[in-house]
């Protein structure tokens, strides 16, 4: 991939500058995370919105450790041999959700290719623990692809999350470069698989990064592919390079283009689309509300 070397030296555009935290909620959230010895994707992935989200008293919890078995070219999470799962982690996440009085919780994880189920049982236990301590909470999961193992996906779906999120991350052509151990088609099939396991009674969600060198029309093609596989919730955000070791930014996309993509997504049939330079998978996740009937059905099935 070739790019203008000047882009490396250029200051980031004004539209992706972030402000430092001032709200007391930021520091109380930070203290809570430390107290319960939890990991957040907000910090591990160097999310540009962590100041805002923590200032609002929200966070996305990353379970199954902070060492990933994959080395994607865009991701700031450490690649190393993972540590054993912590058996009490689900309970600690549930306690954090309770203390923060969350109404919508996002649970994500590193890729755990070292485990036979990819960490799916740990996801299930965490969802169940959260729901037991927080009746009525909306649970969203952002999962790895589990190497497309049907049994692993089924374990997660048995716990009945309200939103099942798995990111394709980029357009099909760039997938081998951006996600060297992932497959574009595999990600799409995992999304469809999860939805079909519960007869469509779950919202499936996916996200794209732009600014990696995608060509005209490739983003729209990705939207069509996601819709074809049953995805109804979409996020599109600007790729930001975590370090010089990661893939370079090819383009800083203007806010107007993000708004065009959002409008196109809604016109194509997505129920909800968040598109903007600083949008990330779990940014303002609670802005999307699952159907009330589905929420009630899940509560009844889960005994909540």
Question: Residue 182 in contact with residue 74, Cβ under 8 Å?
Answer: no
- Structure-block tokens of residue 195: 């939805």
In this predicted structure, what is the pLDDT of residue 291? 77
Domain residue spans of the chain: 20-302
**Which of 78-82, 169-173, 217-221 has the least mean pLDDT?**
78-82
DSSP, collapsed to helix, strand or coil, labels residue 30 as: helix
Q: Which pair of structure tokens corresponds to residue 2?
A: 């070739």
Mean per-residue pLDDT, 208-235: 97
Q: Is 167 exposed, middle or buried, given 0-12, 13-18 or 19+ CB atoms closer than 10 A?
A: buried
Beta bridge partners of 275: 236
Q: What is the pLDDT of residue 1?
A: 43
CATH of 20-302, one of 3.20.20.70, 3.30.390.30, 1.20.1260.10, 3.40.50.460: 3.20.20.70
Query: Tokens for 142?
Result: 């952002």
Residue 4, pLDDT score: 46
pLDDT in tens, 167-201: 999 999 999 999 988 999 999 999 999 999 999 88
Instruction: Answer whether 0.85 is exceeded by the pTM.
Output: yes
Poorest-pLDDT segment among 7-16, 100-109, 123-132: 7-16
Residue 234 is encoded by which pair of tokens?
């979409």
Q: What is the pLDDT of residues 248-290, one digit of tens each?
A: 999 999 999 999 999 999 999 999 999 999 898 877 777 788 8
At residue 102, the pLDDT reads 82
CB neighbours (10 Å) of residue 84?
Answer: 8
If you average pLDDT over residues 44-67, what whole number do you get?
Answer: 66
């Amino acid at each position: 991939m070739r790019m203008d070397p000047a882009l490396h030296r250029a200051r980031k555009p004004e539209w992706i500058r972030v402000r430092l935290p001032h709200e007391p909620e930021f520091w109380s959230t930070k203290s809570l995370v430390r107290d319960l010895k939890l990991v957040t994707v907000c910090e591990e992935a160097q999310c540009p919105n962590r100041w805002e989200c923590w200032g609002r008293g929200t966070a996305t919890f990353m379970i199954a450790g902070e060492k990933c078995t994959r080395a994607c070219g865009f991701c700031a999470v450490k690649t190393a041999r993972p540590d054993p799962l912590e058996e009490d982690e689900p309970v600690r996440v549930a306690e954090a959700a309770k203390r923060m009085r969350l109404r919508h919780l996002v649970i994500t994880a590193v890729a755990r290719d070292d485990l036979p189920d990819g960490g799916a049982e740990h996801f299930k236990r965490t969802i169940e623990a959260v729901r037991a301590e927080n009746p009525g909470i909306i649970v969203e999961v952002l999962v790895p692809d589990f190497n497309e193992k049907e049994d692993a996906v089924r374990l997660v779906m048995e716990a009945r999350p309200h939103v099942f999120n798995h990111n394709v991350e980029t357009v099909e052509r760039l997938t081998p470069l951006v996600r060297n151990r992932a497959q574009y088609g595999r990600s799409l099939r995992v999304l469809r698989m999860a939805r079909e396991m519960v007869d469509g009674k779950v919202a499936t969600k996916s996200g794209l990064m732009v600014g990696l060198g995608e060509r005209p029309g490739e983003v729209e093609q990705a939207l069509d592919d996601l819709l074809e596989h049953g995805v109804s919730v979409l996020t599109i955000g600007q790729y930001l390079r975590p370090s010089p070791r990661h893939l370079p930014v090819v383009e800083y996309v203007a806010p107007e283009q993000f708004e065009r993509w959002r409008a196109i997504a809604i016109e194509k049939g997505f129920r909800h689309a968040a598109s903007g330079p600083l949008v990330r998978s779990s940014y303002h996740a609670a802005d999307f509300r699952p159907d009330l009937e589905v929420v009630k059905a899940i509560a009844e099935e889960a005994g909540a």
